[in-house]
Structure formats: C-alpha cells, structure tokens
Amino acid sequence: HVQLVESGGGSVQAGGSLRLSCVASGPSVTMAWFRQAPGKEREAVATYITDGSGADGTIDYADSVKGRFTISRDGATRTLYLQMDSLKPEDTAMYYCAAAPRQWDGHSRVCPKVYLHWGQGTQVTVS
C-alpha cells in the first residue's frame, strides 16, 4: 500500500500562488492531483505518468487550469508537486494527491476510480 501525504494548502487572495506537495511512500506509475469543492464531483486537475517508460513525464491538465498550474515530480524523493499560479476563487477546493499502480490512457487518467491510493487532502481557499 502506497501512502500519500499532501502539504502546502492554505488561504490566498485571488491572483496569488501556492505550491502543493505530495510525498509517496512507494513507487507508482500514474499520479495525479484531484480537487473537490463542496457539492461538486471530484475532478482531475493534472496527471503525470512516472513509470520510466516512453510515456514517462506525460502530463495532462484540466482546461480550467492550463497555463496557470504546473505539475512536476522529483523522482529521487517520490514527491509530486502542483504549482498553482494566478489563483481564482473557483479554484477553492480540497486538493488530493492520487496514485495508480499502472499506466492509464489519457481518457482513464482523469477518472478517480482508476486510482488506488489517495492522500488525506489539503484545503486551498482563494478569496
């Protein structure tokens, strides 16, 4: 079982920045950041393939965050990051790190059900 521990959430004014971190206790193939606002479904924000194959480093973003958010990974420390710039009030949500033990295609990577491991979440509030 891979444990995921997120950090870096907080409150910020619109236009500000935050960087989320997710430290994994073991290896994963596909990792992602999801978010869930009250009354809304959990949605994929950004996904990252980490298995060292030809797809390693493949990144996808939700349209709503393209150009503002950047997902990255430090393989040595098994840390996944989400740099969030130009934050908007609609970015307010609980943000979750997720990991899956296999590679998924682009359509599947945005589905919460393919991820077996989840962090506890970190709250991001933009006012």
pLDDT (0 to 100) of residue 76? 87
pLDDT at 51 over 60: yes
pLDDT at 86 over 70: yes
Pairing of strands 43-49, 59-61: antiparallel
Nearest CA-CA partner of 30 in 44, 18, 9? 44
d(CA 76, CA 64): 30
Instruction: Give the mean pLDDT of 28-54.
Output: 89
Question: Which amino acid makes up residue 57?
Answer: G
Instruction: Give the mean pLDDT of 21-25.
Output: 96
pLDDT band at 55 (very low <50, low <70, confident <90, very high): low
Helical residues (DSSP H) of the chain, grouped into ranges: 106-109
Q: Other C-beta atoms within 10 Å of 70: how many?
A: 15
Q: Other C-beta atoms within 10 Å of 64: how many?
A: 13
d(CA 79, CA 97): 10
Compute the mean pLDDT over every residue in the chain, rounded to the nearest whole number: 93
